[in-house]
Amino acid sequence: MLNSGSSSVKYRLMSGNERLASGTIERIGEPGSPAADHETALKIVATELAEKGLGLDSPELVAIGHRVVHGGTTFTEPTLITEEVVRKVQELIPLAPLHNPANLAGIEVARRLRPDLPQVAVFDTAFHSTISPAAATYAIDREVAGRLRIRRYGFHGTSHAYVSREAALAVGRPAGNVIVLHLGNGASASAVSAGRCLDTSMGMTPLEGLVMGTRSGDLDPAVVLYLARTGGMSLDEIDTLLNRRGGMLGLCGDNDMRAVQERLADGDPDAELAFSVYCHRLRKYVGAYYAVLGTVDVIAFTGGVGENSPLVRLTALAGLEALGIAVDPGRNARGERLISTDDAAVKVAVIPTDEELEIARQTLEVISRTNRG
Ligand code: AMP
């Protein structure tokens, strides 16, 4: 599978659930990088695979799965790539101007290298296509929203799909209700019932929702107007302030949770405020999605922060015993798969995400469906 981003290409070669090879080509186009563009990056991928005896020309290769960030309302499931699919992904570029062109660059090069091979697009937004109109619609003029395709789409879909399924299986409730907290550099929450997403915290763009490494998450939309009118900032400056200099970075100068926690241990007041804003927002979403779902079988933490920070997990869920949520401090500190107390009605799980495996699985599903059809 290929994850062709704006400045990097990640690849993983899978046979069933087994990883045969993987790697990342970084800083594409930057001075000193081995790859000046995506074409060169993919050729490096091909060479790296060939060196391991697993070349792109191998007859055993059955398909290539591509991560595509924005599928809009056009793509609600993984899709076999054709000329028409490429054209439709191009039409969605205004909704994801940084990501979709990079994803398309990877698709184009891979199709040129192996035109005979089925290639599948797996969309970040697709898992969230099941959210109801009530959850997807912003309360603004419907004509404007419709014309400009403004609605909640949600992102990190492959991670939410993978983690919600694994968490439900981990507690023996495959058709259960799950709250997924994907906490990485970007962060998002989702409410999932019987494998269907009912609501998610990222919106039309990946800026909405939780506090992230460098993104503000939720904010009074009038702040944007105020920054422009009274603060005299340009739209590009506001974009940078909210997307690149917001979140933990904006609050305390560090976007890495490890650094924030080290400062916290030294009693640094900026780190304390940043950490408390982060955990307060998380807790609000847990409460909101509890109400959306009605009952909750399991809350699943994932992503770099969710998988590795016992302090975030403990703080975000502290004092929620009345809701049936209680974290066992020992299990939590050890990062066990289930970290709730035995008698808690709502289980709490730590589930390492695996977006690459999920993309490979979904790709194979499309291929076997196509072959059957
Ligand atoms: P991801 O985007 O899922 O790769 O997550 C990356 C983020 O995970 C980093 O920026 C860190 O903030 C966070 N992280 C990684 N390891 C730890 C850790 N041991 N404790 C707290 N946060 C961590």
* Tens digits of residue pLDDT in 123-140: 999 999 999 999 999 999
Residues 225 and 305 in one domain: yes
Residues 204 and 111 in one domain: no
CB 209 within 8 Å of CB 218: yes
Q: Which of 308, 315, 332, 354 for mutating ligand 1's site (highest number of atoms within 8 Å of CB)? A: 308
Q: How far is the CA of 201 from the centre of ligand 1 (A)?
A: 19
Q: How far is the CA of 214 from the centre of ligand 1 (A)?
A: 13
Which residues, given as ranges, of the chain have pLDDT below 50? none
Distance (Å) of CA 185 to CA 122, 298, 300: 21, 23, 17
> Is residue 148 in a domain?
no
Residues 274 and 212 in one domain: yes
- Beta-bridge partner residues of 192: 178, 197
Atom of ligand 1 nearest to the CA of 261: 21
pLDDT score recorded for residue 170:
98
CB 300 within 8 Å of CB 167: yes
Last residue within a domain, chosen from 63, 91, 123: 123
pLDDT score recorded for residue 33:
84
Backbone CA torsion sign across 314, 316, 320, 326: negative
Q: How far is the CA of 303 from the centre of ligand 1 (A)?
A: 7
Q: How many angstroms separate the CA atoms of 119 and 1, rounded?
A: 9
Residues 177 and 312 in one domain: yes
Neighbours of 369 (CB within 10 A): 12
Nearest CA to ligand 1 atom 19: 308
Atom of ligand 1 nearest to the CA of 186: 2
Q: How many angstroms separate the CA atoms of 357 and 368, rounded?
A: 16
Q: How many angstroms separate the CA atoms of 363 and 170, rounded?
A: 24
> Is residue 180 in a domain?
yes
Ligand 1: does its nearest atom lie under 6 Å from the Cβ of 303?
yes
Residues 265 and 340 in one domain: yes
Q: How far is the CA of 259 from the centre of ligand 1 (A)?
A: 10
Strands of the sheet containing 9-15, edge to edge, are: 18-25, 9-15, 2-4, 64-68, 119-123, 79-80
**pTM beyond 0.85, yes or no:** yes
pLDDT score recorded for residue 57:
82
> Is residue 263 in a domain?
yes
Q: How many angstroms separate the CA atoms of 157 and 155, rounded?
A: 5
Ligand 1: does its nearest atom lie under 6 Å from the Cβ of 304?
yes
The residue ranges of DSSP E strands in 62-176, in sequence order, are 64-68, 79-80, 119-123
Ligand 1: does its nearest atom lie under 6 Å from the Cβ of 309?
yes
Residues 191 and 55 in one domain: no
198: nearest Cα among 167, 183, 168, 177: 177
User: Does the annotation mark 199 as catalytic?
Assistant: no
> Is residue 181 in a domain?
yes
pLDDT score recorded for residue 89:
97
> Is residue 130 in a domain?
no
Q: What are phi and psi of 208, to 5 degrees?
A: -75, 155
Nearest CA to ligand 1 atom 18: 308
> Is residue 14 in a domain?
yes
Domain count within the chain: 2
CATH number of the domain encompassing residue 275 = 3.30.420.40
pLDDT score recorded for residue 147:
97
Q: How far is the CA of 313 from the centre of ligand 1 (A)?
A: 13
150: nearest Cα among 104, 94, 97: 94
Residues 208 and 329 in one domain: yes
Neighbours of 3 (CB within 10 A): 23
Residues 70 and 187 in one domain: no
Write down the residue that tokens 């007859």 correspond to: 59
Last residue within a domain, chosen from 90, 108, 123: 123
Write down the residue that tokens 């950490």 correspond to: 275
10: nearest Cα among 359, 256, 306, 362: 359
Neighbours of 320 (CB within 10 A): 18
Enclosing domain of residue 207: 172-354
Residues 196 and 332 in one domain: yes
Residues 116 and 192 in one domain: no
pLDDT score recorded for residue 46:
87
> Is residue 134 in a domain?
no
> Is residue 152 in a domain?
no
Q: From the candidates 37, 57, 116, 124, give the one annotated as an active-site residue.
A: 124
Q: How far is the CA of 21 from the centre of ligand 1 (A)?
A: 23
Nearest CA to ligand 1 atom 23: 305
Last residue within a domain, chosen from 123, 158, 185: 123
Atom of ligand 1 nearest to the CA of 303: 3
- Beta-bridge partner residues of 200: 190
Residues 212 and 293 in one domain: yes
Q: How many angstroms separate the CA atoms of 361 and 359, rounded?
A: 5
Residues 104 and 225 in one domain: no
Tokens of 295: 């009952």
